[in-house]
Amino acid sequence: MTTDKRENEIVSFLEGIVGPDYVTTSRFEKIKQSLDAYPYHADMNNLPIAVVLPKTSQDISEILKYANKEKIPVYVRGSGTQLIGASRPDRSGIVIFTSRMKTFDIKEDWGYFEAGAGIRNQEAKDLLAERGYFLPLVIGAKHIASFGGATCNNTSAHLIEPAVGKPGDYILAVEAVLPTGEIIETGTRGIGKPAGTDMTKYFVGGDGILGVVTKTRMRLVPQIQYSYGIACFSELAGIARGVKRMYLEQVPVPIFTEFLDRNVAEIGYTNKGMEAPPGHVIFFVSYDREKETADKNTVKLMDVYKKEKPIYAEPVTDMVRWEKVWTARESTIPFLMNKLQGRLLVCEVVCNLATFEEGMEEAADFNKGVPYLEDLTNYLFGHIGALSFHPSFIIPPDLGDERMWELSRLLYKREAEFNTKYGTCGREWGQFSKRKDFFIMRYGQTSYDLMKKIKATFDPNNILNPGVLEGYR
Ligand SMILES: Cc1cc2nc3c(=O)[nH]c(=O)nc-3n(C[C@H](O)[C@H](O)[C@H](O)COP(=O)(O)OP(=O)(O)OC[C@H]3O[C@@H](n4cnc5c(N)ncnc54)[C@H](O)[C@@H]3O)c2cc1C
C-alpha cells in the first residue's frame, strides 16, 4: 500500500470519528503542531500525517484503539509550550490537539471542580476566581498552557511548594485514556486523596507517556489574600542567606518569591519605565485567608531580609508599582529576544537549602566552561523561594538548526550536572526528553529501566508520545 493511500485511510478513519471539520492535513497546521519554544525548525521529513481535534474521551479511545492496532505513533498537544522538547513530534504520526476539550465544571456541593484537558490555565483561574476560589497552578504561559499539559507535568511553576504544595497535591482524580484505548477513572469523588496505590499518580506528573489525560478533578481551594514586598541587595550571597534564614527561622513562606539578577532587573525595570534598581532584586507575595495576617507575614519576611543588610527591603502597597515589577519579570525574555533579535535557550537549575549560597553562585556562573555559551550573557532569574533559577541565553537566529540542537544539548548536559551535584531535579518542566540523560545520571539505570518496563506495560506498542522516554528530542 502506498504511503499516500495509507495516509488517506488514516485521515478518513479520523474523520469518521470526529467529523471532517476536526481533522486537518494542512501543511501550516502540521508545521505549527511540530514546533515548540526551541529555536530550530520543524523536522520537515517527519511532519504529522494529520492533526485531529477530539471533543470527548470516547473520541480519543477510538483513535488510540485504531492507532494501537495499526501501530501508528500518536502525539498529544496541549499548546506545545513545554520547555524540554516533549511536545515536539519526532516521527510522522497522528497529533491529538486537545483544544476542543473545554469542559469546566465547578461542583461546590462535592468540594471540587473538573477541568477538560483543553482548558487554558488562565481560563480556569478566572472561572474559579469568579466563584471565590484559588487555582493552585500558576504557569508563566498561563494564557495558552492547557490543563492537560499542566497535569502531565505536575508543574509547580511560580508557586512555592513549602507554602502551597504542588498542583498534584490538590488533584483528586483524572480521567485518562490508555494507549490501548481503554478509558479509566482514577482517585476519588471525596475530598481526601486515596491512601496507598492511587493510579492518579501515573498520570499526574506522568510526562504524558502512560495515557491521555482527558479530565482533571481538583479540590476547591478558597480564595486567599495577598501582601507584597521587595528587597534589593548588592551581593547575591545576601539574598541566598536571606532565603535560607526565611526557612531556618520558620517565618511564613510566601506563595511567590521571584529573583532578578542586577542585569535582568535593569532591563525589565527600564522596559517598564522604572528607574533601574541599584542591585539584585527579590520580590515576594505573602498570603493568608485574612489580609491582615498576610500583611503581618510580609513584615516578618522583611525583618528576616533586613538581617542580611539589603540596600532596601520594604512592603509594596502601591499596586501600580507592583504590577510593573511583576511584569518586568514576566516580560524580560520576550523583550530581550526582541531587543537582541535572538532566540531563547533556557533551562532550570534547582539548589538545596543546605548549600544554597554555593548553589546560587554557581547558577550565576552556570555557563562558565560551556563551549560557546560561556561567551554569552547569562540572564539569571527564577523562583528563588523554591531555590530554582532559569539561566537564559539569547542566541543569534542565524546559527542554523544543527548548531542550535548542539547548544541545547550542551545546555541540558550542564543542567543535568548541576541538578545532580545538588541532589535536586527540575520542579517545573517534567522529566525525559532533553532530560533523559539527567534521569539516568540522577536516579540510575535501574530506575530508568523500570520506567521502560512501566511504559511497555501501559503501551506495549509504544505508540503514545514515542521518543519522550527515549530522549530523542
Ligand atoms: C513563555 C513560557 C513561559 C513558561 N512558563 C512556565 C512556568 O512558569 N512554569 C512551568 O512549569 N512551565 C512554564 N512553561 C512551560 C509550559 O508552559 C508548561 O510546561 C505547560 O504546562 C505545558 O502545557 P502545554 O499545554 O503547552 O503542554 P504541551 O507542551 O502541549 O505538552 C507537554 C507534554 O505533555 C503532553 N500532554 C499535553 N497534554 C496532554 C494530555 N491531555 N494527556 C497526556 N499528555 C499530554 C504532551 O504530549 C507533551 O509531552 C513556559 C513556557 C513558555 C513558552
* Secondary structure class of 141 (helix, strand, coil): coil
The pLDDT value recorded for residue 81 is 94
The pLDDT value recorded for residue 157 is 87
Residue nearest to ligand 1 atom 36, measured at CA: 149
CA 433/CA 83 separation, integer angstroms: 10
The pLDDT value recorded for residue 186 is 98
Ligand 1 contacts CB of residue 431 (under 6 A): no
The pLDDT value recorded for residue 333 is 86
Under 8 Å between Cβ of 456 and 421? no
Q: 333-345 pLDDT, tens per residue?
A: 888 888 888 999 9
The pTM of the full predicted model, rounded to 2 decimals, is 0.95
- Asked whether the predicted pLDDT for residue 428 surpasses 70, the reply is yes
**Cα 38 to averaged position of ligand 1 atoms, centre (Å):** 13
Question: From the alpha carbon of 156, which atom of ligand 1 is closest?
Answer: 11
Q: 302-331 pLDDT, tens per residue?
A: 999 999 999 999 999 999 999 999 999 988
Q: 433-463 pLDDT, tens per residue?
A: 999 999 999 999 999 999 999 999 999 999 9
Q: 183-202 pLDDT, tens per residue?
A: 999 999 999 999 999 999 99
Ligand 1 contacts CB of residue 429 (under 6 A): yes
- Asked whether the predicted pLDDT for residue 473 surpasses 70, the reply is no
**Cα 87 to averaged position of ligand 1 atoms, centre (Å):** 8
CA 337/CA 258 separation, integer angstroms: 21
The pLDDT confidence band at residue 1, using thresholds 50, 70 and 90, is low
The pLDDT value recorded for residue 39 is 85
**Helices marked H in 258-391 — which ranges?**
262-271, 291-306, 319-339, 356-364
Sign, Cα dihedral of 398, 401, 403, 405: positive
**Bridge partners, 222 (sequence order):** 133
From 81, 177, 202, 348, the mutation candidate for ligand 1 (largest count of ligand atoms within 8 A of CB) is 81
CA 355/CA 341 separation, integer angstroms: 37
The pLDDT value recorded for residue 3 is 80
- Asked whether the predicted pLDDT for residue 164 surpasses 70, the reply is yes
195 secondary structure, DSSP code = S
Domains of the chain: 3-99 (3.30.43.10), 101-219 (3.30.465.10), 225-421 (3.40.462.10)
Question: From the alpha carbon of 86, which atom of ligand 1 is closest?
Answer: 49
- Asked whether the predicted pLDDT for residue 181 surpasses 90, the reply is yes
CA 460/CA 264 separation, integer angstroms: 47
**Cα 354 to averaged position of ligand 1 atoms, centre (Å):** 30
Amino acid making up residue 237 = A
Q: 16-42 pLDDT, tens per residue?
A: 999 999 999 999 999 999 999 888 889
